[in-house]
Each structure stands twice: as structure tokens, then as C-alpha cells.
Chain A
Amino acid sequence: MELSIRNIRKDFGTTPALHDVSLDIRSGELIALLGPSGSGKTTLLRLIAGLETPSQGQVFFGKDDASRRSVQDRQVGFVFQHYALFRHMTVAENIGFGLSVRPRATRPPKAEIERRARELLDLVQLSGLERRYPAQLSGGQRQRVALARAMAIEPKVLLLDEPFGALDAQVRKDLRRWLREIHDRTGHTTVFVTHDQEEALELADRVVVMSQGRIEQVGTPDEVYDHPAVPFVHRFIGESSELPVRIDGGQVWLDDRPTGLTAEGAGPATLFFRPHQIEITDGCGGCLAGTVTGSRRLAGTRRLELALGGAGHRVEVDVPIDHPAAGKSGLSFRPRRYKLFPAPSPGSDGTPAAAIAQAPQYPAVA
């Protein structure tokens, strides 16, 4: 089932939660709504489900305008962050609930509901736990039951609100892989909300990055990671270091010193790069150089904090554990991949001071 969200606006009282959001979701897609808390991602999910009504705009299920339909009629499978399993019902009764509340005419017979519940328990790999109560299950098991319950009504779309948010790291990783497998097998159009970028990048076909009630970028994990459209996305997804620079004559300058990076256009800009996407240079004929102010061990690499230039701009870079630079007091380097955004004019709300032609985003990677 395709979903189309058109110019949705949602206000809670006088506080706007979503400003004019539009989004198209393809049939069978696995989509992540990613953003910090307060970005409106959960509100958007609940609007799709019909648990909230939009102040303006429409939600289409296929060609059908579902905006005015109640949550019961929309036939969505909603999975809650804290599972919301019915605690007085067994696992099988929970899963069968959606079928058992159907009007008599369309309600399957009891045996059929039980058969369906067993089938779904097999799918979520919890066979044999039919007679247990939710309180007797672990967090991960509960979340699987919640998913099975949502799938029992043959939903047009599966909506998951922070599905792994309440679980510990290891269970989370397992469930992520498992959810991907389930999605590939069943082919449900699935939208899930997360604030965990790793989860979004690993799991989703496309990631919708949200901030302050707006969609900042929609793209595949590769696109949002490698080609962030706005500074927010660069900062929010993956590690990010940034420097205030100036573009002049095809060169990028930091405090009147050439950085060795090229760009078109002119004017102040912000240089973004990722700590691990750098190369260490010998000497400094056009590079970034700084003094090491701190050093931390990060799993397979060492992260150095550097102070650059006279103003002491702080950036972070990763160097190999055994690299001699790790022990030195100074380091010169050049980002292998970088991205330039026009600097916001002081005091404005983020509109660029000068329109600059974007430099080639990713110059030849060595």
C-alpha cells in the first residue's frame, strides 16, 4: 500500500508540532522517521495511524483519502514503544484480539483465530509461548508479540513507534536484523520512528530526517550519510566536525590560510567533514593543521581533538591506533571528503548570507 502525506500541519494548542509536511512512501518500503526528540516524528506516525487528527492536510492510503477515517477503519498495525500488550490476556489472546473484535459477519471462527495466532507466533519465533502472560516475557519477546498482534489484522501498513527504544543494546541489534528479515518475508509497507541513527541507517530503505516539525531530507541511508542536504543532517547523522571558512578564488580558506580544498563561489561558509574521512599529511602546503588538545580511544581508532588556527577552532579527527601522529603534539591533515554549506548570516534564522555555488561535494577520493 502506498502512502502519501500531503501538506500536513499539526498544532497542539498554539504550539506547532508539524509544519506543512509532505512525504510519499512506496508500497513495500521500509522507512525510518529519524530525528531528535521534539522533531515531530512520533506525531507524524500517529497522524498516519489516525491516533491524531491533522490541523491541516491529508493522508492518502493508495488513492483513498484516509484523513477523516477513524483509526479503526484505517487498518494499520501500530506497535507501541512500551508494547501496550493487554496484560490480562495470554500471548495468543493478545495476537488474536484484532480478529476477535471484528463484527460477527467477518469474524473468523475461534479455531481459525487460534490457528492464525500460532502461525504468527511461529513467524516471530516464539512458538510454544501461547499460554504465557505478557508479564512472563522478556522485553524483546514482548515486542515480538506486539508485532505479531499488529500483523494479525493484515494491516495495510505497519507503523512502529521507537520499537526497540526500551530494550538493551544487544537485544536491540538482534531484533533489528530480525525485523528486516520479517519485512523482507512479508513485504508490508513499514514506517518506524527512531532517534537512533545507526538503527535507521542499518534498517531502512529510505530515511526521513526530521527536525523541529519539518522534514530536512529524505533519502537512502547512503544519500543522507554521504550527501547531507543541510547542516542539520550532517551534524545529526554520523560524526561531524565543522569549521568556519571562506571561499575565494576557487579555494577554501581558514583564517587567511589555504586549506588545500577547492570550491566554487565566494563568501563565508561552513566546512563539514567526518572525523574518519581524513588523510594525514606530511608538512603543510595547503592543509589543516592544529595542536592536539586531547586523545581518546574509540574502539578501533584513536580520536584526537585538535585546536586549529589562531582562533583555536575545535575539531575531531580519527587516526589509526598505531599511527605515530597519535603521540605527537601537532597534526596536519586534509579531509578526504567534505561538504560546504553557506554560512548563516549572523542573527538570521539560518538563511544563507550569500548563495554560493556548491563545491564538488566529494572530490576524488584517494
Chain B
Amino acid sequence: MVDVTSLTRSTATSESPLTRLALIGLALGFLVVFLLLPLVAVFNEALRNGLGTLVTALQEPDALAAIRLTLLVAAIAVPLNVVFGIAAAWAIAKFEFRGKAFLITLIDLPFSVSPVISGLVYVLLFGAGSVLGPWLKAHGIEILFAVPGIVLATIFVTFPFVARELIPLMQEQGTADEEAALSLGANGWQTFWRVTLPNIRWGLLYGVLLCNARAMGEFGAVSVVSGHIRGLTNTMPLHIEILYNEYNFAGAFAVASLLAGLALVTLILKTAIELRYAGQLSAARGH
């Protein structure tokens, strides 16, 4: 993209054409080798034996079950994280309270901790050897090696995405709009739906897309709690791993291409939002 400022920039800060070419070439080369090539390879591998094989591989019952489970988990985890994320961001941005810095650090925990550990936490919490384990068993509640465990692990891992996106946005917007709405007679509910939410909608959508991408792609934490029961507790990433370990490359890459496709759609949507609402996004950020 050509930037006006780069054209008018003074000669003092610009590099010689050769240096520029080298730097741009380096950055592009890096992107191609490490990001673009693997992606192309996935699709290439998936389509190696033609579109027919790909479709057949995806219609296999276990693959279908994995796709359904992944969509189900995302459909539960993402809305919950939207609610938690808004609540957390609201509390942090609009109120002063003790332990605020600690709460912000806590929200970042899923980013800093390895997903495997996030999964292990749930095993320790709900597993047969834990305090809760026998009680859960006695009441016939299955969490580990079942859908609830997978959902919990996914929520844990994807928690920061929405909150992290909203906190700086809401902090910057301050509380004046809400105060104005209240002084005009709106109650808390009306203020939230008619003022706060529209103010953060683009940031929220952004967070939701990222959260969704991660929820569908999460491997580590889910792997620990899922139990890998085919057709029951395998999500798409787990299913891909199993197929791969069984040397079923056609199947593995077929599912992988679908997962990568979902991620690409997410990215395209995100870019589309940025282009379409660039003005409002920047207004929301810099108003």
C-alpha cells in the first residue's frame, strides 16, 4: 500500500532504494516461506487426489462428528466469552476498585500459560483423583472426557480475546456517554443497549472473530481433557492429528483444509469490517 506520508517524508529518514528493496524483500520472503507456503501446502495436499477425495473424506462419519463438535464448542464458548469479556472490560474500564491491576493480569493468564497446562488444571479439578471427582461421579455428571470439559477448556483458552480488545477501547471512551444517557433519564439497561454497546460494536466484533478462530483451532488444552473418543469427543484439530498419526494423509489434509478455510474466512471478514467501517472504527478509537 502506498502511504502519502512515505512519499513526502524527508530524505533524512528515508533509505536508499537498494536498502528499501532489500528490507521489503526480506519481510515478504519471510512471510511467504513461513506463512503462505504452509497454507498453500495444506490446500495442495488436500486437493492432490482431486476434489472428490476431499469431499468423501469430509463425509466420513467421524469427520462429520468432529466438525459438528467443533462448531458446537465454538457456539457455546464464544457467546459466553462475549458476555464475560464485556462484563470484565466494563468493570475494569468504568470503575475504580481494589485489585484492578491483579484482575487485568489474571485476564492475560490464558495467553501466558501453555494450553496444555490449562487442560491439566481441569483434569486436576474434575478428574477421578480430585476432590470434586467422586462427587461428580456419584451424581452422574461427566465433565472430563466429555463435551463440558472441552467447552470449559476452550472458554479458558479464548477468554482474553474479547476482554483484551474491549478494555483499551472502553477506557479511552470513558464514562461521559453513559453519564449523559443516565442524566437524560435512561436506566442502566437502556444505557447499555443504546449507548455502550453501539460504542464498542466494532471492537467487539473484532474480538468475537479472533475468539472464534481460536475456539475452533484450539488443540493443546482440548487434547488433554477430551479423551480422544472418535465420533464423540474429537474436535477438528484432534481429528486431524489422529488421521495424521494413522498415515491417513488425504483425510488429515482434507479436514485441515476445512479448518484453514474457516480461519481464512474469519480473516477476510475481519479485513472486510476494517475496510467497510474504517471511519467508524477510527472514530470509535479516536473520538
Contact = CB atoms under 8 A, between A and B. Distances in A.
Contact of B185 (A84, A88, A153): A153
Nearest to A12: B96
B179 A101 contact: no
A80 B181 CA distance: 11
Contact of B183 (A49, A85, A135): A49
A76 B198 CA distance: 24
B183 A71 contact: yes
Given A72-B186, A149-B184, A84 B176 contact: yes
A75 B190 CA distance: 17
Main secondary structure of the interface of B (DSSP, over half): helix
Given A70-B182, A88-B198, 19 more contacts: A49-B183, A51-B179, A51-B182, A71-B182, A72-B186, A78-B179, A78-B180, A84-B179, A84-B180, A86-B180, A86-B194, A86-B198, A97-B184, A98-B184, A101-B181, A101-B185, A101-B190, A101-B194, A149-B184
A70 B191 CA distance: 14
Scoring B177, B279, B284 by chain A CB atoms within 10 A of each residue's CB, the highest score goes to: B177
Contacts of A150: 183-184
A228 interface: no
B177 A86 contact: yes
Interface in A38-95: 49-51, 70-72, 75-78, 80, 82, 84-88
B172 to A, nearest CB: 12
A342 B144 CA distance: 81
A102 interface: yes
Q: List the 4 closest A-B pairs by CB distance, nearest first.
A: A98-B184, A84-B176, A84-B180, A101-B186
A80 B176 contact: yes
A311 B25 CA distance: 73
Given A87-B284, A135-B283, A135-B287, A72 B185 contact: yes
A149 B180 CA distance: 10
Contacts of B198: 86, 88
Q: Which of A50, A78, A97, A101 has the most CB of B within 10 A?
A: A101
Given A86-B195, A87-B199, A72 B182 contact: yes
Interface of B: 176-177, 179-187, 190, 194-195, 198-199, 279-280, 283-284, 287
Interface residues of A, number: 26
A315 B40 CA distance: 80
Contacts of A82: 176
B185 A75 contact: yes
Contacts of A85: 180
Contacts of B183: 49-51, 71-72, 76-78, 150
Given A87-B199, A87-B283, A80 B179 contact: yes
B177 A101 contact: no
A187 B200 CA distance: 38
Given A86-B195, A87-B283, A101-B190, A80 B184 contact: no
A98 B177 contact: no
Nearest to A146: B180
A264 B162 CA distance: 73
A98 B176 contact: no
B180 A80 contact: yes
Interface of A: 49-51, 70-72, 75-78, 80, 82, 84-88, 97-98, 101-102, 135, 149-150, 152-153
23 contacts: A50-B183, A51-B179, A51-B182, A51-B183, A72-B182, A72-B183, A72-B187, A76-B183, A78-B179, A80-B179, A84-B176, A84-B177, A86-B181, A87-B199, A88-B198, A97-B186, A101-B187, A101-B190, A101-B194, A149-B180, A150-B183, A153-B184, A153-B185
A87 B181 CA distance: 12
Contacts of A101: 181, 184-187, 190, 194
A150 B185 CA distance: 11
A102 B187 CA distance: 9
Contacts of B199: 86-88
A71 B181 CA distance: 10
Contacts of B177: 84, 86
Contacts of B180: 78, 80, 84-86, 149
B93 to A, nearest CB: 16
B5 to A, nearest CB: 23
A307 B32 CA distance: 76
Contacts of B284: 87
Nearest to A95: B184
A247 to B, nearest CB: 51
A80 B177 CA distance: 9
Contacts of B195: 86
B56 to A, nearest CB: 48
A51 B283 CA distance: 26
Contacts of B279: 135
B179 A102 contact: no
Contacts of B184: 97-98, 101, 149-150, 152-153
B282 to A, nearest CB: 10
Interface centre among A71, A82, A102 (most CB of B within 10 A): A71
